[in-house]
Structure 1
Amino acid sequence: MTAAGKGLSGRVCLVTGGAGGLGKSIVLALLEGGANVAVSDISKTALESVADAEFHKHGATSKLLLLPGDVTDAGVVKSLIDETVKHFGQLDVLVNCAGIFDRFDPVGDLSQDLWSKVLAVNVTGPFLLSKEAINHFLSRGATDASIVNIGSLASEHGWCGGAAYTTSKHAVRGLTKTTAAFYRNKGIRCNLVMPGGMNTDIVTNIANSREGLHPEGQKMLDAVLDGLQTSISDTKEVAKLVAFLASTDSSALTGAIIKADHGITTLI
């Protein structure tokens, strides 16, 4: 029995951004809880590599489906849902974890190309996936379907990223709230997890490499890292929370905005 109790057993989950970082830990937590998991990532090579190295050790091959694809492409997103349903029979849970960071650029110096790229992955992706998943949930008369969106402290605060990333994560919070409100009586739940600093490649790379970082962003990053240094979460900790929200054990929760930051924002 995992942190999600028995509420994951047999559940069919689709996790985007599952080849690394938090996404990988979420996949492992779901497999360990007895779920069937479709895993998507834009990199087919990374997806297959981590599956061979880790996923197959934690769940039978029959419980795992690898689906490389770009979450910003509506046609690809439809195929991710269709292939998951075709393989496992239905979909119960969507975890929108795929995301990219910016370079802490303030709006006055932010390029439109970077703005568009960050919003495409971080906002349009979850929108497209949620739309397809919800239509599937409704068509089969789901009674406890679950969408878990991965936000950030940047979903609430302005000091955790640049203008593009912060705007995108605020948008995901809004998408979560409206999805929860419109579908709360239709068997569909939607919740948001807001992790603080985590031991992921993105955090390590940003902390160790300042190349291309906006000068003002460097100052902001130093302040953020100073505050987060005693509050870094292991991705497995956050993954357990996501697994709980994906399970039927969390049936009373929808529209919840949950911080997983070791309380760092209580000091603000």
Structure 2
Amino acid sequence: MSNTSRVALVTGAGSGIGRACALALHAAGYHVVLAGRRLDALAQTIAQAGTGSAAQLLAVPTDVGDPASVKALFAKTEQAFGRLDLLFNNAGMGAPAVPMEELSYEQWKAVVDVNLTGPFLCTQAAIRLMKSQSPQGGRIINNGSISAYAPRPFSAPYTATKHAISGLTRSTALDCRRYNIACGQIDIGNAATDMTERMAAGVIQADGSTKVEPRMNVKHVADAVVHMASLPLDANVLFMTVMATNMPFVGRG
């Protein structure tokens, strides 16, 4: 099947990595469903795709942590395009960088809802659709994080949920073989987005110091996701790390 007839769904598509990947998939010929909390941000992503793109792009305001909202998202995807070939579970958030014992339950739960429950709900819905469509199958890509392996100070909710995403990736890859559904994960280090802007001023390190960290163009992440998506379903990138070469990851601490 050519990319011109493929359908991708990107969560967190209103900014940052999600926006860059949605635009790259669209440029590669995909119809793209853009999910995010704010319709105005999704509209800005569509505007950046250029004129004449409206028929290939669908914005659906979504709270990925809410089962009803996710159900509506996938129903609208099927109604608009008839199938789904790629889900990019990208939506994510962090909590304030404070000692673990000072985090509130509400702060913890908010991160878990978006970073873990959201991908689980979207994966469930994608599997159901991909199982039932003809031809059967598709691909799911999860946005993990190198923080799952080498956490930053004061990042317990983010680190815990991203570590859990690696387990979700492995379980999905195993359980979905029979349905011709591939699942992989991309772990990203310091892509230059609004979320990492603070790194230009310096972020806290494991030894308590504050240092400026190198960042990389977010385009490299988008290109990597398009590459993962372009593989035939009998091939899969299970885990990929894309990072700023000189960032403190190998040897962090």
Do the structures match in fold with TM over 0.5?
yes
- The structure with the greater share of residues assigned to helix is 1
Q: 1:90 to 1:168 in 2, by over 3 A?
A: same
Give runs of aligned pairs for residues 68-217 of structure 1, distance below 5 A. 68-140=61-133, 142-159=135-152, 162-205=155-198, 208=201
Q: CA-to-partner distance for each residue in 1:130-186, whole Å, 9 max, x for gaps?
A: 001101111225544000111111122222761011111111111111100111232
Higher relative contact order (CA 8 A, sep 6+): 1
Structure 2: stretches of 5+ with no match in the other structure: none
* SS state at 2:191 partner: coil
Deviation at 1:243, TM superposition (A): 1.2
**Residues 250, 155 of structure 1: alpha-carbon distance in 2 compared, 3 angstrom cutoff:** farther
Question: Larger strand proportion, structure 1 or 2?
Answer: 2
Structure 2 residue matching 1:148: 3-state secondary structure: strand
Which segments of 5 or more consecutive residues in structure 1 lack a partner in the other structure? 1-5, 210-216
Once residues 103 and 197 of structure 1 are traced to their aligned partners in structure 2, the CA distance between those partners, rounded to angstroms, is: 18
Q: CA RMSD in A?
A: 2.4
Partner residue, 1:237: 220
Which 10-residue stretch deviates more, 121-130 or 245-254?
245-254
Shift of 1:103: 2.1
Partner of 2:50: 56
Contact conserved, 2:11 with 2:91, CA < 8 A, in 1? yes
Q: Number of aligned pairs?
A: 250
Question: Aligned-pair distance for 1:246?
Answer: 1.8
Alignment pair present for 1:260 and 2:253: no
**1:237 partner amino acid:** H
SS in 2 for 1:9: helix
Equivalent residue letter for 1:129:
C
TM-score between both structures, scaled by the size of structure 2: 0.89
Q: TM-score, normalised by structure 1?
A: 0.85
AA aligned opposite 1:163: A
In structure 2, how many angstroms separate the alpha carbons of the residues matched to 1:190 and 1:174? 11
* Whole-angstrom distance in 1 between the partners of 2:163 and 2:209: 21
Q: Is the Cα–Cα contact under 8 Å of residues 141 and 184 in structure 2 kept in the other structure?
A: yes
- Going from structure 1 to structure 2, the CA distance change for 1:136 and 1:221 (only over 3 Å counts) comes to farther
**Do the aligned residues in 2 keep the contact of 1:183 with 1:189 (CA within 8 Å)?**
yes
Identity %: 31
